[in-house]
Each structure stands twice: as C-alpha cells, then as structure tokens.
Amino acid sequence: MSDKDEIFKKYQMINESKYSNDDGAGEESKEYRDYSDADPDFELARTNFPHGAGYPNPKRSYEAVVRTDYISGPDDSYDEKFNNTYKPLIIDFVKKEMPESIDKYNLEDYADMDGLQYRVNMLIPGDESGNAMREKFHKLLDYIYGDSPNNPDNKSNYPLFVTLYDTTRLFGGHEEGGWWYDYNDKIQSYKVTAPDQVEKVAKHLYNNLRQYDLDGQPRIYLERKPGSLTKQERPNYE
C-alpha cells in the first residue's frame, strides 16, 4: 500500500479535524515552525538553478507557485463584516450619491462583495460627471480592503501561516467518462507574525523546493491555520 493510500485510509476513519487537540497535548506545535530572521535554516537557494525551483519549468515559476497575495482558507468573520459593516457602508454611499438608484435596485439582497461592487460601478455614470463619484467609491473600497480579514497587509489578521502544499490530480471515478480531483498534501508550514515576513518565508520555501519529495505541483499559500487547505479525501461524485 502506498503512502497516499495509507493517508487516504486514515482520513476515512477520522471524522474530526487532524488539528483538533482534545487531549490538550499541544499537538498544534508539531504542525508548523515559527519563522525567525535569525533562523540559520533561512538561507536562500542552495542550487545553481534560478530560484532553486527547477529550470525551465513554467509550472514551477515563482508566480505559478506562490499565492500569498490573499489569505486562503475558510473564515466566517469576513461574511459577518460584509453584512454588518461593508455592505451598509456601500449602501449609505449610494443613498448619498445616487438616491434615485436605491428604489431601482435592492442592494440589500447582494450576498458578496464582488456582486455589490460590480452593481455600484455600473450605477455610476460613465462620463466625466461620474469621475468624482467614482473616485469617492474607490476610496471607500480601499478602506474596506484595508480593513478586510482577507487582506495580508492588515496587521490585525496575524499570526498567519505560509504553507507549502504538494498538489496532485487523482482519479475519482468512472462517472460520465471519468473525473479527477485535487489531492493537497501539506509539506511544510511556517508561522509568521507580520506582513513583512510573508515574502521572506515564501521565497525560502520556493528556493528550497528541491529538498522536498514532491509528486505533483508545489503551491505556497498564506492561511489562517496550518494545513487548512489539505484535501486528501476522495470527494463524493455529484
């Protein structure tokens, strides 16, 4: 039985999260390493290849591998902030700047920022008369993004974790001619406590990809909990 089969069997038998700590034994400390500027392991590329990630392989370019410009993983706090803070701010903006539009569109019905932002942008006049209004709206969006729980530049969102995953495609079943799914395996994770540490850790992981035994494509994410994007169970076909 392969290592992946062993892991798959284990995950079929375990219902709770692998990061739960019901026994109070401090298991979380085994799931990541703390980043430190003084860490002797944080040397850059130990290889003659550019970035240490293999060359030339566009699927392993820095831009393809490192995805730390947003915070990944589930977070209920964003939905709460959107409904209680961000959406009311945008609706108040429309009431002040375009009161005639409030009766035409029920902005309260929008359930996500992308849809609401798109609708308001469409309401703002496209000619020069809408320039000042558009500038005000963009400043409001800048404030919202800066405050967002998904913004990696927001210091209040830390500590976070920079995590390397090995992503492979596995056969899921024969339905409709066959289907495949992503198998994400957490390889290494570092705890970071400030925005300026994220790129340093991401570059360290990227520059040392060759030291890891990867079966698929490497992916480096910024997340709230180490291993939160792990997907090792075979999903049900729907």
Classify the phi-psi angles of 227: left when phi > 0, otherwise alpha if psi is within -120 to 50, otherwise beta. left
- What pLDDT is attached to residue 32? 75
- What pLDDT is attached to residue 103? 75
148-155 contacts at long range (C-beta below 8 A, 24 or more positions apart)? 148/78, 148/81, 149/71, 149/75, 149/77, 149/78, 149/81, 150/70, 150/71, 150/75, 150/78, 151/70, 151/71, 152/68, 152/69, 152/70, 152/71, 152/195, 152/198, 152/222, 153/195, 154/195, 155/194, 155/195
- Distance between CA atoms of 105 and 102, rounded to whole angstroms? 6
Q: pTM score > 0.75 for this model?
A: no
- What pLDDT is attached to residue 5? 53
- What pLDDT is attached to residue 148? 92
- What pLDDT is attached to residue 124? 94
- What pLDDT is attached to residue 232? 63
- Distance between CA atoms of 115 and 188, rounded to whole angstroms? 36
Cα dihedral sign, 13-190-69-51:
negative
- What pLDDT is attached to residue 9? 47
- What pLDDT is attached to residue 171? 79
Q: Going from the first residue of the chain to its last (238 residues), give the mean pLDDT of each consecutive group of 10, the final group possibly shorter.
A: 49 35 35 64 40 48 92 84 94 93 86 93 91 94 92 95 90 79 89 95 92 89 92 71
- What pLDDT is attached to residue 22? 33
